Amino acid sequence: MDFKTVMSPKEHINVYPNIGKVLYKRNLKAKRLSIRIKNTGEVKVTIPSVLSFNAAENFVLSKASWIVEKLEEIETQKQPIIQNGYNTRYHSLKFIQGDYNIIKVKYNKPYIDILYPKSINIEHNSTQTAAKKAIELAYRIEAKEYLPQRLDSMATLKGFKYGKLTIRNSVTRWGSCSSKNNISLSLHLMKLPDELIDYILLHELCHTVQKNHGPKFWELLNRVTDGRAKQLAKEVKKYSTRI
């Protein structure tokens, strides 16, 4: 669990890696615990009076894989079909239909080839799932090539020091900084223009000095971004970590 926001004695929100926000709400009329996942991706848990919040949370965690699967299905339905020629920063997707028994993703720089059988088409769920994995692969390769050296450059330029760097397939946040000043970055940062990547890197580097988002943090971030911290934060919100 990353953090908890208490809303009232009857309801609160927990935020979990991969799942995201989960709203827990007590209903005195409810006879059983239930999990509802809306088409918007909102996860709501109804808790009967006889059950504790801790018990409800344990149940949710036991169903984490199922919840993530349902959220991915909703996201797939919301997103447009990935087509031939989809471009990441340095790669291009190429669908190749042929005499294949299974779908394969092949790295052939600068192409990520998706080999799929003649029995299905590009729009098929399995082909689209493979396409997403191919895009994730492209971003992972790009992130490992670009982000370490860029983070080093920004840290040196602005006078920061940090511990280890980890690159993850995080879809809940662009980056994070631990209490030991270890920085974790989402591979999906490669979707952003250079200026916004630098902003996220500086955001996490500022957390090596200021651990919260209080006034001192924003003062520092504003200073190292030439007075544009709020503007850049607003620009980042136009992008999504999801493929």
Average pLDDT over residues 51-75: 89
Average pLDDT over residues 177-193: 96
Using a pLDDT cut of 70, give the percent of the chain over it.
Answer: 95
pLDDT at 4: 42
pLDDT at 5: 39
Asked if 203 and 221 touch (Cβ cutoff 8 Å), the reply is: yes
pLDDT at 9: 58
pLDDT at 76: 66
Task: Look at residue 84 and tell me if it is in a domain.
Answer: no
Does pLDDT of 181 surpass 80?
A: yes
- Clarify whether residues 161 and 191 are in a common domain: yes
Asked if 75 and 41 touch (Cβ cutoff 8 Å), the reply is: yes
**Length of the chain (residues):** 243
pLDDT tens-digit series, residues 7-60: 445 788 898 887 888 999 999 889 899 999 988 889 999 999 889 889 999 999
pLDDT at 10: 77
- Clarify whether residues 133 and 175 are in a common domain: no
Asked if 53 and 66 touch (Cβ cutoff 8 Å), the reply is: no
Q: How far apart are CA 206 and CA 220, in angstroms?
A: 7
Task: Look at residue 241 and tell me if it is in a domain.
Answer: no
CA nearest 206: which of 216, 194, 193? 216
* Paired tokens of 161: 């020091």
Does pLDDT of 218 surpass 70?
A: yes
Asked if 120 and 126 touch (Cβ cutoff 8 Å), the reply is: yes
pLDDT tens-digit series, residues 121-166: 999 989 999 999 999 999 999 999 999 999 999 999 999 999 999 9
Task: Look at residue 85 and tell me if it is in a domain.
Answer: no
- Clarify whether residues 185 and 207 are in a common domain: yes
pLDDT tens-digit series, residues 94-124: 999 999 999 999 998 899 999 999 999 999 9
- Overall domain count for the chain: 3
- Clarify whether residues 48 and 105 are in a common domain: no
pLDDT at 77: 67
Domain end call among 121, 139, 157: 139
pLDDT at 224: 97
Order across the sheet with 165-168: list the strands.
165-168, 183-186, 175-177
Domain end call among 50, 78, 106: 78
Phi, psi of 223 (to 5 degrees): -65, -40
- Clarify whether residues 182 and 199 are in a common domain: yes
Q: Could you tell me the CATH number of the domain that includes residue 193? A: 3.30.2010.10
Phi, psi of 186 (to 5 degrees): -80, 135
Domain end call among 48, 78, 108: 78
CA nearest 187: which of 227, 148, 220, 233? 148
Task: Look at residue 178 and tell me if it is in a domain.
Answer: yes
Task: Point out the least confidently predicted range of 37-41, 148-152, 180-184, 194-198.
Answer: 37-41
Does pLDDT of 242 surpass 80?
A: no
- In this prediction the pTM is 0.67
Task: Look at residue 242 and tell me if it is in a domain.
Answer: no
pLDDT at 165: 98
Task: List the domain range (segments joined by +) for residue 16.
Answer: 3-78
